[in-house]
Amino acid sequence: MYEFSEGQYDAVVIGAGHAGCEAALALARTGLSTVLLTLNLDSIGFMPCNPSIGGTAKGHLVREIDALGGEMGLVADKTALQTRMLNVGKGAAVQSLRAQSDKNRYHAEMKRTLEHTPLLRIVQGEAAEILTDGAKCTGVKTTYGGVFSCRAVIVCTGVYLNSDVITGDVVQHCGPNGFQNATYLTQALIKLGYRVRRFKTGTPARLDGRTVDTSGLPVQEGDESVYPFSFLTEKVNETQTPCYLTYTNGATHEVIRRNLSRAPLYNGTISSTGPRYCPSIETKVVRFADKERHQIFLEPEGADTTEVYVQGMSTSLPHDVQKQMYRTVKGLERCEIVRYAYAIEYDCIDTLDVLPTLEFKKVEGVYTAGQINGTSGYEEAAAQGLMAGLNASLKLRGKPQLVLRRDQAYIGVLIDDLVTKGTDEPYRMMTSRAEFRLSLRQDNADVRLTQIGYECGLVTRERYEKFLSRKAMREEAIALLNTRAEQKTADALVREYGYPPLSAGVTYADLLRRSIPLSVLRERFRVLEGIPRDIADSAETEIRYEGYLRVGREQVEKARKMENTALPPDIDYAAIGGLRLEAREKLARVRPVSLGQAERIPGVNPADIAVLMIYLSLKRE
């Protein structure tokens, strides 16, 4: 093949999904010349599955991406059809924002943002090889022989890497939604030394909304007043498009059971590992045979289309079975399918081959982010893309790379889980994975991360000044809540809420701890006037959970001592007496950068950590 130069750049990003978009923007916005190489310009920021952003734990990720200077939250706010706060009846730690997005507008808005970003060149083409000189990357070669010379490569191939789309007994070698897949890069990654495995995901059918009868279905309305994802967005779209709720039933399940022999998941056509927390409808019916019905949400794909997404009915059953199955559901009796459901298998890597910075352990300057790292979800992908792009930028600028700790961000939990524990199935972020989740709330993402983003050069001056203003107002609100409330009104209020009369003066914070809502205090005492609602709510949370947060900070300090104890990268674990055989193998495989990371490796127990501590102390003598 004839080779030719496509130019010299600082970095090349392979793939323009949610990871690739954030990676490219992080690089270009921090002053590095960047190429974004995508199989198809029409798939930039594309949502091949549910057109939504956020959700439980995922909303936290979007807020953190935004706090660090990323783009996903801003685009989600601009293109939201409906916005809701989930888990409002639960504690503040697990409340998460979710937006139903306009699929086409999200793609168009993200593409427009990329096209107007200085130092960023977008090219339609397929990467065939990552070029190296020794153990350093030097460029990317396309299938047409074009060579982009560069010092860093971020691989964000999503579910397009050597992918197969499967429906019934039909297997198509293509990407999602009929887009072209990437056919050459898998072998190139194996040649570099990556270990590659095969994962699977899927998507439900899209229906013609004109053939769906929603008249008898429960309506899922958006919130009348809700926070935006981005700290820069003043307010979200006030016109909320409704979603609808329905259920499968016995007839649905009977159609599925009768056709399991034709289901790729059960007849051997699909053998790869699928997502545990987003299973197909046939998996639900088989695995939960005692359940009489399963919840289904009917969600709009966009304002410019009649397409309806059937959340909860992902499947790879044949087309004729799909048609029968969907029409057994209430409201869908006369539905017409415009896009049939399918499963998709794709290649991804073993993330134990990756450093906490998302750089490959064996080749300097090569990073991976998104579903190639074994994750599922747009938000997880975008978070990794931002971190990979930012770390490549920091390294090329001669600055220390950024590794967020588990007590700093959900992003830190996500990446630490991947590079320390690995994953044998598509990884999904959940609040239960974050041991410090009470401190990692979505309302304080800017307090935790914006200063870091500013110091890394990604947060703009405009965003930083707004952050400083919000931070000052938050501190002012907390201070005001710790001042004395007017005695007579306070006494009447506590009696009203069933408490005994006051024997001494109280602060507004004391009243909050008596479970009196902040909204009531603002009404009765006119306290926190002029403080925006979201900042006041954040201050309230700090007051209510003050005791728990204090205990959490003590736990963080203990954990931080372990994180700050570095492990040399060249340790010969096989030569350390006292380490169990399993621990030696696991430590040599992961090569943790600190004692904190070492103690989180499955198969490494406290006794092994004690041996390592003794080893380090002897080395220092």
pLDDT, tens digit (0-9, with 9 covering 90-100), for 379-404: 999 999 999 999 999 999 999 999 99
pLDDT tops 90 at residue 552? no
DSSP code at position 223? P
CA proximity to 593, closest of 557, 618, 568: 568
Question: Which pLDDT does position 91 carry in this prediction?
Answer: 86
Can you read off the two tokens belonging to residue 87? 């888990």
Phi-psi region of 47 (alpha: psi -120 to 50; beta: other; left: phi over 0): beta
Average pLDDT over residues 211-221: 95
Share of the chain above pLDDT 70, in %: 100
CA distance linking residue 192 with residue 132, whole number of Å: 9
Q: Considering the chain, what percentage of its residues have pLDDT values greater than 90?
A: 85
Using DSSP bridges, classify how beta strands 170-172 and 196-203 pair: parallel, antiparallel or unpaired. unpaired
Tokens describing residue 172 = 């198509």
The dihedral through the CA atoms of 160, 156, 72, 273 has a sign that is: positive
CATH number of the domain at 565-620, please?
A: 1.10.150.570
For 465, the 3-state DSSP assignment is helix
The pLDDT value recorded for residue 621 is: 64
Q: Which of 6, 3, 7, 15 is nearest to 382 (CA)?
A: 15
- Whether pLDDT at 240 is above 90: no
- SS3 label, residue 4: strand
Q: What does each C-alpha distance from 493 to 479, 503, 504, 507, 512 come to in angstroms?
A: 21, 14, 14, 13, 11
| pLDDT at residue 555, rounded to an integer | 85
Indicate the fold that domain 472-554 takes in CATH.
Arc Repressor Mutant, subunit A (1.10.10)
Query: Domain boundaries in the chain?
Result: 10-200+346-455, 206-345, 472-554, 565-620
- The CA dihedral of 577, 583, 586, 589, to the nearest 10 degrees, is -10
Residue 237 has pLDDT above 80, yes or no: no
Spell out the alpha helix ranges (H) of 327-431. Answer: 378-396, 410-416
Tell me: pLDDT of 150 over 80.
Answer: yes
Residue 60 tokens read as 């936290």
CATH architecture of 206-345: Beta Barrel (2.40)
Integer angstrom CA distances of residue 90 from 96, 219, 394, 420, 422: 10, 22, 39, 31, 30
Report the residue count for the chain: 621
| pLDDT at res. 47 | 96
**The tokens of 34 are what?**
């960047």
Q: Which of 402, 406, 410 is nearest to 355 (CA)?
A: 402
| Cβ(443)–Cβ(532) below 8 Å | no
CATH class of 10-200+346-455: alpha beta
Determine how many CB atoms are found less than 10 A away from the CB of residue 507.
16
d(CA 202, CA 208): 20
Q: Distance between CA atoms of 558 and 343, rounded to whole angstroms?
A: 45
